[in-house]
């Protein structure tokens, strides 16, 4: 067997009422917390309240920034960091989907390095963050166990991953926060998790541990297929989707994401596709392009799907028909992908401009 490396430093705690059970783990991180969350869902699903109660019980002071939007912009991160900077918190808590947790990673770096600017999040110098606690309330990005963060850069007119690496210290995973997630968010985020599992599994950097994690993730996802089709989610299904998503995060933390993520960014930026949909509609053509018969069979068998056509139909049934994207547009998006060297390098062999264009065409026309 070839040698490999595997690094997963996040302390993952999973279960109903996990913050009440194991919340005392955060006590070592200091006396002042800065909470980063979205505009509303964490207030409704109980996650923000559970964290606030924990902080109050332990006399930890806190302030809340609750203005993180979907696909968060660098301007928002800068604004939050400015507010946090006035308070000098000891640690930061990201509550919500990938958008607030990713934002907390960027803000945590800017707090720890007051002289740094948002541009430095994309620089060559590695910067540390103050300790980060993550509470994921979507089952999609796996951001609670990855070192990555993705932001919208309006100057570059795209979404862009930062070049820093910030693993959360602790991730509290509680499926009860997911119970009332609307069907559209559930489905879109689940397809993002599936993309992570697939891209990590087929990626050049896959190894025996990331593959074992991906294979377990596919099995769990397969057990949720009927629920996803029906749009009905029991507590048990929520548990499985959350686990599949965290496994997807564990996989990509090691392997990185690959072509669908690189290609999906423009579809989100210019056409407003949700992150899950942007990846999801590319997956069938991507799997065909990868020509990895053995691994594709494992994926299809775990999902109880006969072949890639059935896979494509399943994704289309979940995501709906794609909106119109013109040929000129995909030529422009292909150029953007070709400049994303880091993502191209995760593919097992050299990818040409024509390859990318073909995947877009097969997926969108
Ligand atoms: P999100 O943008 O964080 O949230 C999407 C929507 O879901 C928001 O309206 C949010 O409402 C709502 N929501 C969140 N939790 C909910 C719940 N429990 N019940 C009801 N509604 C809920 O979505 P996401 O898909 O999790 O994150 C996407 C972002 O993560 C993208 O920017 C993507 O590029 C990035 N990403 C990061 C990684 C990584 O490794 N770091 C990997 C893949 C993707 P509120 O705004 O009110 O909270
Ligand atoms: Fe993703």
List the single range of 144-158, 165-179, 238-252, 312-326 with lowest mean pLDDT.
312-326
Atom of ligand 1 nearest to the CA of 151: 32
Task: Out of 8, 45, 64, 97, give the residue to mutate to test ligand 1, the one with the largest number of ligand atoms within 8 Å of its CB.
Answer: 97
**What's residue 322's pLDDT?**
63
pLDDT of 320: 82
Q: In the predicted model, is pLDDT for residue 294 greater than 70?
A: yes
| Ligand 2 center from residue 24 Cα (angstroms) | 30
Q: If you take atom 34 of ligand 1, which residue's CA is the nearest one?
A: 150
Q: What is the pLDDT of residues 95-124, one digit of tens each?
A: 999 999 999 999 999 999 999 999 999 999
289, pLDDT greater than 90: yes
Q: What is the pLDDT of residue 1?
A: 81
Rounded to the nearest integer, the mean pLDDT of the chain is 96
Report percent pLDDT > 70 for the chain: 99
Cα(95) to ligand 1 centroid in Å equals 10
User: Ligand 1: does its nearest atom lie under 6 Å from the Cβ of 189?
Assistant: yes
Instruction: Show the tokens assigned to 8.
Output: 């997963």
- Predicted confidence (pLDDT) at residue 238 exceeds the cutoff of 90: yes
CB 142 within 8 A of CB 194: no
**Tokens 């930890």 appear where?**
60
297 CB-contact burial (10 Å; exposed 0-12 / middle 13-18 / buried 19+): exposed
Which residue lies with its CA nearest to atom 28 of ligand 1? 98
State if residue 137 touches ligand 1 by the CB under 6 angstroms criterion: yes
- Give yes or no for residue 96 CB within 6 A of ligand 1: yes
Kindly state the percentage of the chain with pLDDT values over 90: 95
**What does the pLDDT read at residue 250?**
98
Mean pLDDT of 61-75: 97
Mutate to test the pocket of ligand 1, among 10, 138, 246 (most ligand atoms within 8 A of CB): 138
Measured CA distances, 180 to 18, 44, 150, 221, 235 (Å): 18, 9, 26, 19, 10
d(CA 338, CA 139): 30
Q: What is the pLDDT of residues 19-37, one digit of tens each?
A: 999 999 999 999 999 999 9
Going by DSSP bridges, is the β-strand pair 158-161/150-153 parallel, antiparallel, or unpaired? antiparallel
Pick the residue with more confidence: 3 or 235? 235
Tell whether ligand 1 has an atom less than 6 A from the beta carbon of residue 146: yes
**308-359 pLDDT per residue, tens:** 999 999 999 999 876 789 999 999 999 999 999 999 999 999 999 999 999 9
The pTM for the full model equals 0.97
pLDDT of residue 324: 83
């Amino acid at each position: 067997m070839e040698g490999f490396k595997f690094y997963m430093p996040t302390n993952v705690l999973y279960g109903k009422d996990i913050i009440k059970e194991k919340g005392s783990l955060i006590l070592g991180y200091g006396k002042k917390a800065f909470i980063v969350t979205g505009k509303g869902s964490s207030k409704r699903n109980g996650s923000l309240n559970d964290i606030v109660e924990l902080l109050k019980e332990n006399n930890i002071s806190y302030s809340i920034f609750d203005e993180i939007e979907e696909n968060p912009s660098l301007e928002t991160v800068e604004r939050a960091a400015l507010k946090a900077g006035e308070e000098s918190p000891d640690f930061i808590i990201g509550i919500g989907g990938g958008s607030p947790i990713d934002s907390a990673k960027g803000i945590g770096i800017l707090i720890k390095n007051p002289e740094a600017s948002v541009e430095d999040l994309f620089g060559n110098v590695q910067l540390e963050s103050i300790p980060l606690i993550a509470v994921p309330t979507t089952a999609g990005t796996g951001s609670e166990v990855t070192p990555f963060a993705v932001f919208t850069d309006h100057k570059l007119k795209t979404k862009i991953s930062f070049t820093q690496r910030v693993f959360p210290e602790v991730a509290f995973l509680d499926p009860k926060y997911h119970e009332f997630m609307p069907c559209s968010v559930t489905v879109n985020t689940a397809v993002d998790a599936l993309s992570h599992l697939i891209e990590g599994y087929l990626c050049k950097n896959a190894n025996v541990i990331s593959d074992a994690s991906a294979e377990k993730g596919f099995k769990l996802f397969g057990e949720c297929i009927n629920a996803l089709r029906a749009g009905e989610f029991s507590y048990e299904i929520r548990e499985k989707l959350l686990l599949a998503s965290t496994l997807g995060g564990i996989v990509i933390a090691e392997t990185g994401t690959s072509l669908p993520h690189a290609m999906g960014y423009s579809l989100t930026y210019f056409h407003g596709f949700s992150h899950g949909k942007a990846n999801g509609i590319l997956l069938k053509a991507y799997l065909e392009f990868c020509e990895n018969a053995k691994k594709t069979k494992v994926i299809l068998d775990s999902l109880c799907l006969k072949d890639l056509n059935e896979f494509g139909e399943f994704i289309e049934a979940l995501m709906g028909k794609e909106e119109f994207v013109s040929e000129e547009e995909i030529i422009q998006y292909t150029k953007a992908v070709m400049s994303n060297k880091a993502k191209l390098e995760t593919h097992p062999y050299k990818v040409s401009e024509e390859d990318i264009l073909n995947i877009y065409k097969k997926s969108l026309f």
